[in-house]
Structure 1
Amino acid sequence: MVVSSGRADFGFKIDFVRDTEDPARVFRAFSGLIDFCQVTDKSLIRSLDIDIEPDLLLDNIEQGSISVWLKFAFKSVNNNLSNLNLKLLSSYLVESKSCIIKFINKRDTIKSHSEVLELQDKLRPLANQTNINTLGIYTPPNDKDLLLSIDKFQLASSELQAADNLYYLTRSSNLPVNRNFSISPESRDNLLVKETIKSEQLMILKVKKPDYLGESKWEFRYDGRSIDVKITDSEWLKKFKQREVIIAPGDAVKAKVEIVVKYDFKGESISTQHTIQKVIEVIPMPPDNQLSLFKDKKLGS
């Protein structure tokens, strides 16, 4: 079952500078803004704990300064849309995006996790106004989802030139966008981290893909999965590059490994980084395994 709004719910307007290069920038920006909306709307709907999927329909494109108007369409496998106030739901999605953009307008970057909590606190009462949850309990989008939405928005905005202007349009407002806002991927990821724990461990890692150029990480197999590992043992790397050490896929290395695990504010691990500090021994693939590999290749040829 699919139900759509009768008229446009919101839109974006770009006042572009005429007679400038890279005209495609305007359309890349609109594409990025629609991507921002789709990612954000799905995150906002999840916070309501209802079994529907939001979508967007193109309602109109206005000339002059280009304006794109969009309207919502809601899908439900269980055909339970008739029990929902879709007008309130549409208003929730429109006002929540407005809240995110106003948050961006007040700063040029995000410096602390407390700012993300501030945004979550502002989104919570907007969810309450939908009256969808009979218990009145709503969980705002999590840190990761909010930062992903903000990143999508800044990427779309960055497609435009400095002299271009961007606006978020609703039926009752025309909200200018702060084009100076930016946050780097590293800063964004650090906002999710509450604690970092480092440890050292003696490990045996099976080589899957060596880094012959010395410009990226090695790929190893460990505990049935692939892991990317940086090697900082400069003395061993020098020997490897000078072919004093021969190593190939299927061989293994015994090494002292630094493991850095980052945890979010819920105590869940969000990333693990492995670094080989010292290569102790290279363990060649057993001859029987090498012969088996050779036979398999011969049979498959």
Structure 2
Amino acid sequence: MTRLIESIEEIQDKLTFSLSVDIRTELLLEEIKTGSLLTWLSAETTYPENKPEIKIDKNNNKKINNYLQRGIEKIVDFTSRRDKINSIKEINDLQDDLYNMASDTDIKNIPAYSKIAEKDIMEFLLKTNEASKTLSKDDEIFFIFDNGAKKYNKEFSITKESIEELLIQSQKEDLEFLELKIKKPDYIGDSKWEFMYDDKIIDVKVDDHNWLKKFRNQEFALRPGDSLLALVMVKKFYNHNSELIKTTYRLDEVRKIIRQPSPLKNMELNLNNEQERY
């Protein structure tokens, strides 16, 4: 239930973002019925006062809440009509429907609304789908709207891999020299290594087989904090708007091991620096 609530909160944030105004929504847990998974949620919406781009209308809050409900209902209907997504056009059509709903709120003096990103819509579908998989075979998810209840289609399937397949339209490859700080090596298998690069953890397939053989034969050791200067094939994948979808890394050749100074060396260096002051 927690994962489902989190996914609803996230898509509500995306829906309000498409209004292009500073709106905050928060799901309020009103009631949990004992012995069941029936949970009542309500949305509390706040929007900025005295903003020139927003029309002065006492019904704005009601309009926004209605838009959020209709938006989620539209997405639930989308899943009820299919068991999987066959083309990106299906998501684009859903994008257009949600955009038109945002425009229909008519809360802005200048009708400048924006579309929810394809990836954001599919990530909501993915998280909702994953939440449904935690239920037993006989359990169901119902979304209760003003005009009635809608059952979530548990047969609908979407995966991270299928999302990438739908989104990716082009790719670019570059062979680069990178300094990769070792986070988690693979000592025996063919799984990817974890490195720190550009302030984040990345998975890298190491294809320098001669170097790997020497490492696994213990011809040299690697210590925590050591880095590799290596020739790496960096492959970037983009959608039709040239937005980056994912990046993969393949290490083709290790050129140098950059050793992390030991704590003892650092201590000696600090002591020497202190002595030089006197």
TM superposition score normalised by structure 2: 0.81
Relative to structure 1, the CA distance from residue 151 to residue 246 in structure 2 (aligned partners, 3 Å threshold; closer, same or farther) is same
2:236 partner SS:
strand
Report Cα offsets for 1:54-102 as digits up to 9, x if no partner.
Answer: 0122334456865322222123465779745211111111111000011
Distance of aligned partners of 1:204 and 1:243 in 2 relative to their CA distance in 1, 3 Å threshold: same
Q: Shift of residue 199 of structure 1?
A: 2.9
CA contact (8 A) 1:205 1:220 kept: no
SS at match of 2:98: helix
Match of 2:21 among 38, 46, 50: 50
- Matched ranges for 1:79-90 at <5 A: 83=57, 85-90=60-65
Q: Which amino acid counterpart does residue 110 of structure 1 have in structure 2?
A: I
Task: Give the structure 2 partner of residue 175 of structure 1.
Answer: 150
Give the paired residue count: 265
- Cα deviation, residue 200, structure 1: 2.6
Is 1:72 paired with 2:43?
yes
Query: Where does 1:25-174 land on structure 2 (aligned, <5 Å)?
Result: 29=1, 31-62=2-33, 66-76=37-47, 83=57, 85-174=60-149
Once residues 86 and 206 of structure 1 are traced to their aligned partners in structure 2, the CA distance between those partners, rounded to angstroms, is 50
User: Do the aligned residues in 2 keep the contact of 1:218 with 1:231 (CA within 8 Å)?
Assistant: no
**Alpha-carbon displacement from aligned partner over 1:133-178 (angstroms, at most 9, x marks no partner):** 2222321211121112112211221121222222211122111221
> What does the per-residue CA deviation read over 1:31-53, in whole Å, with 9 as the maximum and x for residues that have no partner?
22221221111100000011120
Are the aligned partners of 1:200 and 1:256 in contact in 2 as well (CA < 8 Å)?
Answer: yes
CA–CA distance in structure 1, aligned partners of residues 237 and 43 of structure 2:
38
Match of 2:204 in 1: 229
What are the superposed Cα offsets for residues 112-145 of structure 1, whole Å, 9 maximum, x if unpaired? Answer: 2212101101112211221012222321211121
CA-CA distance at 1:230 after TM superposition: 2.2
Which of 203, 228, 242 in structure 1 is aligned with 2:217?
242
Tell me, in whole angstroms, the C-alpha distance in 2 between the residues paired with 1:139 and 1:47: 5
Letter aligned with residue 100 of structure 1: I
Instruction: Note the residue ranges of structure 2 that are not aligned, 5 or more in a row.
Output: 273-278
- Distance in 2 separating the partners of 1:284 and 1:213: 19
Change in 2 beyond 3 A, CA 1:87/1:295? same
Cα displacement (A) at 1:220:
5.1
The whole-number CA distance in structure 1 between the counterparts of 2:113 and 2:92 is 15
Give the whole-Å Cα distance in 1 for the aligned partners of 2:178 and 2:37. Answer: 59
Q: Distance in 2 between matches of 1:236 and 1:293?
A: 29
Per the normalisation by structure 1, the TM-score is 0.76
Rounded to whole Å, the distance in 2 between the matches of 1:98 and 1:150 is 13
Aligned to 2:266: 293
- Root-mean-square deviation (CA, aligned residues, Å) is 3.1
Counterpart-to-counterpart distance in 1, 2:86 and 2:14: 23
Partner Cα separation in structure 2 for residue 68 and residue 220 of structure 1? 42
Task: Please name the residue that 2:275 is paired with.
Answer: none
Q: List gaps (5 residues or longer) in structure 1.
A: 1-28
SS in 2 for 1:165: coil
What is the CA–CA distance in structure 1 between the aligned matches of 2:101 and 2:162, rounded to whole Å? 28
The aligned counterpart of 2:170 is 195
Specify the code of the residue in structure 2 equivalent to 1:172.
N
SS at match of 1:147: helix
